[in-house]
Amino acid sequence: MPAPFLDAAARHPLRLPDGTVHANTVHLARVIDHPNISVGDFGYAHDFEPVTDWAARLAPYLHPGAPERLVIGRFAQVAHGVRFVTASANHPRRGISTYPFGIFQTEVATDWAALAGPHPDTVIGDDCWLGHGATLLPGARLGAGVIVSAGAVVRGEVPAFAIVAGNPGRVVAMRFPPDAVAALEAVRWWDRPTPWIEAHRALIEGGDIAALARAADGAGWAPGLEEPLAIRAGGGTTRPGARPSERTTS
């Protein structure tokens, strides 16, 4: 009997056409055992080179016992070269020098957290795509469905289903209009049981948000959707009969 298409327990979720396992693609929840890092099921990362310690590769400044945490949601997609610069990388800025004297004195190392200032958590929402070489700065908080472009440097709050690019990173587009975002956040397909996700994969990969909402609640429209809403080819959304000026683009 073939294995289920989605297997959260698999260390390596990707098999190449010849059947071999792609060793450099991993489910992060299966390879990271770190007290300060939490990863949701099906979140994966890829690297061009073999990685022996995924926690150290992705978040090199996040040491066990640090005040902050890194939280990565379900179905996150992490490309090669992504780095999380967590708050413990910060240097003290209250005095004349930023030199971190405290961390080199082991007898007072426990005071380093106070010396370096606040230590906010870094939170990556469900179904986020972090592009090649992106950098997430201390305290970055991404909503669900965010796309971070290759090489972007991101800090602060990023709303759900935004597209972020550049250095400093800024929101360059929203993937969907507000009513569609509200519907997707109400459906929360990423939190559904795996059999439901597999059964509705075509809707999740497709562009009819209202159809996905109907499948999720069994009948009727999702909150804020009074008529069908579908993604147009090339991005944006449209409702049947809408004039070109009424169509949205992302």
pLDDT score for 44: 97
Pair 143, 78 in one domain: yes
Taking every pair of Cα atoms in the chain, the longest distance, rounded to a whole number of angstroms, is: 71
In a domain, residue 236? The reply is no
pLDDT score for 3: 55
Pair 129, 191 in one domain: no
Given a contact cutoff of 8 angstroms between Cβ atoms, the answer to whether 26 and 14 are in contact is no
Out of 63-72, 178-187, 220-229, give the one with best mean pLDDT: 178-187
Pair 211, 127 in one domain: no
For 90-129, what is each residue's pLDDT tens digit? 888 888 998 887 777 766 555 555 556 678 999 999 999 9
Pair 39, 159 in one domain: yes
For 71-81, what is each residue's pLDDT tens digit? 999 999 999 99
Pair 140, 81 in one domain: yes
Phi/psi zone of residue 220: left (φ > 0), alpha (ψ -120 to 50 degrees), beta?
left
pLDDT score for 217: 79
pLDDT score for 113: 57
pLDDT score for 58: 97
Residue 16 clears pLDDT 90, i.e. is over it: no
Pair 14, 66 in one domain: yes
Distance CA 5, CA 117 (A): 45
Of 210, 217, 202, whose CA–CA distance to 231 is shortest? 210
Pair 15, 71 in one domain: yes
- Give the number of domains in the chain: 2
Pair 52, 136 in one domain: yes
Expressed as residue numbers, the domain containing 201 is 176-220
Pair 52, 161 in one domain: yes
Distance CA 64, CA 88 (A): 11
Q: Which are the catalytic amino acids?
A: 91
In a domain, residue 133? The reply is yes
In a domain, residue 63? The reply is yes
Between strands 153-154 and 135-136, the pairing is parallel
pLDDT band at 5 (very low <50, low <70, confident <90, very high): confident
Distance CA 131, CA 80 (A): 8
Pair 121, 131 in one domain: yes
Phi/psi zone of residue 75: left (φ > 0), alpha (ψ -120 to 50 degrees), beta?
left
Residue 160 clears pLDDT 50, i.e. is over it: yes
For 190-244, what is each residue's pLDDT tens digit? 999 999 999 999 999 998 999 999 998 763 334 444 444 444 434 444 443 333 3
Report the CATH number at residue 68. 2.160.10.10
Residue 150 clears pLDDT 60, i.e. is over it: yes
Q: Select the more confidently predicted residue: 135 or 246.
A: 135
Pair 89, 191 in one domain: no
In a domain, residue 200? The reply is yes
Pair 155, 124 in one domain: yes
